[in-house]
A and B are shown apart, each in its own frame.
Chain A
């Protein structure tokens, strides 16, 4: 069938109408091959404008449409819909931008008209080589990947899992529960953290819609919101690994935080002086009864040293002051009459309940001391803690126990996780949220959310708030049964030309390309490809082309534009 191209130029009110000689443009293009109509209209995107297009498509039996108007970002879809409504394949259409790229920027009317003519001719020449493409609908995958089986991950999984939404919960270690499962009473309620976490573990394990992958890590994530392809790599008992492919629509990263180790603690006697313990070690001692329990020790004097490693990491870990206040209260209960000092630099007691809780610790006997620097030394009678009080004065305490409160740091593997998910890292090494205030639980890319300490140290309650927020985002946007239209202007590889050099794999930002060693060629996963064209440009063998941006189409367009 012969091509019958219709060319339409939009005046965009005065925007284009006053800056371009539209009749001159119409004159210039009307004799071009296959152009059967060249017409103008005041505001093409308006109702009457669209009707004008439709009527002309019908009466002139147009097969291809070229509109010279605004940015494709603004109205490409509008006119593609007009095509669809009129029975023209929407890809037999080309929009050329003569507003942002001509009328608004080229002051000289003659020059602007000349430029418009070139762009119009280029678009007309290009559209002659367009191929019809058919849209495909892809059902969204409502399932969700949750990485990390601590309280944040479990809370998100529990909120999300339902008969129509399976949750894959991936946990690196042998068991769920994260750091909280090892906690005794937690502030401010002094209810048992361990019991709370264990109760959640029971709920997760009893939930038919949550698939727990233990001893496992996520090794590959490719795709986009609604359609992620994930590989979960599990460690087997015999030392081998098992790769499980999982498809999900969204992901929640709840990888938590770790406690700082090493030099900052060692400098304060940890590992070399008896009686110097970390707050986590004290928690374990309180839990197993080695302090305060029957036959347990009862220290007579204890110094908590706060902010250990804070200078090194460069941030306040938020939860340690309250944790020490809690541990001080427990110690004072377990070892009646003990002297408890909390040496702090700055107190971090935000929120409604925290201050009252801290005052409770003081009332119970804890001695809050503000200090600027602390040194810990071993001596015969116990441990010496020398610290300065800021105004040049120094103080020396003799204690038989020192509890170090180290900073919280990103867990090992965070960098790899960030790279795999394409999520940015904050300078301290935690995962970076999309917006600190407006979207603290969203990662920078669609469909990936951050819960709990993955994006910075957080208390249990804040972690759960975030987990619920992540779940809310998923529940409100990833609706089972909905479809998404994957990009169809994607790349494909011609096997006969592909040399298997794998350059395309290196430049693909979406992980959409795989190499087939048997055939010695690469393949593009069309459901993952976003049509950026990187591979097309990088392929030295001309084996890759991008639908709707073929070599021929671009060549023809350029020929006319630079004539």
Chain B
């Protein structure tokens, strides 16, 4: 955990549930000058989806759903679009889930966001409802999510959420602990200087031990780790070898939606969309020659493996890719499996700290000696 963390938080009243408590806190923060604007998920006017909205007028906060039932545009993408052209001193409080905040931190290392004046607020995440389920029946989606938030039963949440051991990670400058906290209360946990500063501006004093929250979280995360292990074991079998991989990705329609919604895919133009991969028909025929046939357009596998090799060390397993896949390819679960293994090899955890260098730009003299001659 970051510097400034003292194992203490603020136990806040939340008689109307955590969403209302966060709205109230945001309103208070704005009033006291802790931020000039707020970036927060909000229900779209038609009522069937949620988007990150930059709120200038606090009256509008009534419609904010800080803990939204779905992950639509990844919060890190919203922060990128907001600060990509640099920081102009506008202080913004951005509310998002831990996985979104982790992606923000990764993008900070890649100079794609400017966090100078951004205060990130995260919360224990019960998971999110699969995007397509929600789109089909928003009412049912709302109901299922409300139940998950109340009971912490994640069985109706996205598969990637069910295996996410970081869903309670206190990533933000301020984190709201919900699990294991007494009913009608939330635990506001400050992290680092920014968190302490924000809490001071809110006129609060961290005086409540976070142990109970921590114990409940650790227990829940241990359970999720178990689920993940089983899930990964199964997936590893299914994805093994070229044919396994091709079967798993077989339904891919080359729409590249997974790349477009991925917060870590920040290139201006994806190499796999570029004319460089276009070849002449005789080249394709050459390739078809080898196994007798060639799927067209080609490079489906190359696209996924290329994208994987580019971003997997920074992959936070947010699941946006899987939500965006129109054909139900378990792409987030596959990427999460590879990400987990790859990150473990480098003892790297994306989003853990913005000071931690990415493995690609870290030189270790002694590394992977087992693959040397």
Measured between beta carbons, the chain B residues less than 8 angstroms from A499 are: 110, 112, 266-268
Determine if B360 and A538 form an interchain contact, defined as CB atoms under 8 angstroms apart: yes
**Is A541 touching B268 in the complex (CB atoms < 8 A)?**
yes
By beta carbon, the residue of chain B nearest A542 is: B271
Complex Cα gap A501–B113 (Å) = 10
Of all chain A residues, which has the CB nearest B85? A520
In this complex, what residue of A is CB-closest to B283? A559
- Pick from A501, A506, A563: contact of B286, CB under 8 Å: A563
Contacts of A263 in B (CB 8 A): none
Within 8 A of A (CB), among B132-167: none
Q: Which of A497, A507, A551 contacts B360 (CB 8 A)?
A: A507
A residues 493-516 touching B (CB-CB < 8 Å): 496-503, 506-507
- Map CB proximity to A onto B278-317 as digits: 1 under 8 Å, 0 otherwise: 0000010010001000000000000000000011000000
Q: Are A507 and B267 in contact (CB under 8 A)?
A: no
Interface: A336 (CB within 8 A)? no
Tell me, yes or no, whether A107 is within 8 Å of chain B by CB. no
Known: A499-B267, A559-B286. A552 touches B310 (CB 8 A): no
B267 touches A541 (CB 8 A): yes
A271 at the interface (CB under 8 A from B): no
> Which of these, A503, A541, A559, contacts B361 with CB under 8 Å?
A503
Least Cβ distance of A486 to chain B in Å? Answer: 26
Closest chain A residue, CB of each to CB of B362: A506
Task: Verify A501–B361 contact, CB threshold 8 A.
Answer: no
Q: Is the CB of B271 within 8 A of A563?
A: no
Min distance, Cβ B188 to any Cβ of chain A, angstroms: 34
Q: Does A13 contact B (CB under 8 A)?
A: no
The answer to whether B310 and A540 have CB atoms under 8 Å apart is yes
Q: Is the CB of A551 within 8 A of B361?
A: no
**Do A506 and B361 touch across chains, with their CB atoms under 8 A apart?**
yes
- The answer to whether B274 and A542 have CB atoms under 8 Å apart is yes
A563 touches B290 (CB 8 A): yes
Contact of A503 (CB < 8 Å), options: B110, B274, B276, B311: B110
Contact A497 B290 (CB under 8 A): no
> In the complex, A506 Cα to B112 Cα: how many Å?
16
Q: How far is the CB of B192 from chain A (nearest CB, A)?
A: 24
From B111, B267, B283, A540 is in contact (CB under 8 Å) with B267
Q: How many residues of A contact B (CB 8 A)?
A: 18
A551 to B306, CA, bound (A): 14
Q: Could you say which residues of chain B place their CB within 8 Å of the CB of A506? A: 360-361
A498 to B268, CA, bound (A): 7
Q: Are B112 and A540 closer than 8 Å at their CB atoms?
A: no
Which residue from B111, B269, B271 sits with its C-beta under 8 Å from A501? Answer: B111
B268 contacts A497, C-beta separation under 8 Å: yes
Given the known interface contacts A507-B361, A552-B276, the answer about A502 and B111 at a Cβ–Cβ threshold of 8 Å is yes
Query: With A and B bound together, what is the CA distance between A506 and B358 in angstroms?
Result: 10
Question: Would you list which residues of chain B between 300 and 340 have a CB under 8 Å from chain A?
Answer: 310-311
Contact B112 A497 (CB under 8 A): no
How far, in Å, is A557 (CB) from chain B's closest CB?
13
Q: Are B268 and A501 in contact (CB under 8 A)?
A: no
Q: Which of chain A's residues have a CB closer than 8 A to the CB of B276?
A: 542, 551-552
CB-CB contacts below 8 Å: B6-59 with A: none
**In this complex, what residue of B is CB-closest to A515?**
B111
Q: Cα distance A542–B267 when bound, in Å?
A: 9
Residues of B102-123 whose CB lies within 8 A of A: 110-112
Shortest CB–CB separation between residue A546 and chain B, in angstroms?
A: 14
* Residue interface bits B241-281, CB-to-A below 8 A is 1, else 0: 00000000000000000000000001111010010100000
Within 8 A of B (CB), among A523-563: 538, 540-542, 551-552, 559, 563
B residues with CB within 8 A of A: 110-112, 266-269, 271, 274, 276, 283, 286, 290, 310-311, 358, 360-361
Residues of A within 8 A of B (CB): 496-503, 506-507, 538, 540-542, 551-552, 559, 563
A sample of 9 more A-B contacts (CB under 8 A), given A540-B310, A559-B286, is A496-B268, A497-B268, A501-B111, A501-B266, A506-B360, A538-B360, A541-B271, A542-B274, A559-B283
A-B pairs with lowest CB-CB distance, top 10: A506-B361, A541-B267, A542-B271, A501-B110, A540-B310, A501-B111, A502-B111, A497-B268, A499-B268, A500-B111
A-B contact pairs, 23 of them (CB 8 A): A496-B268, A496-B269, A497-B267, A498-B268, A499-B112, A499-B268, A500-B111, A501-B266, A503-B361, A506-B360, A506-B361, A538-B360, A538-B361, A540-B266, A540-B267, A540-B310, A541-B267, A541-B269, A541-B271, A542-B269, A542-B276, A559-B283, A563-B286
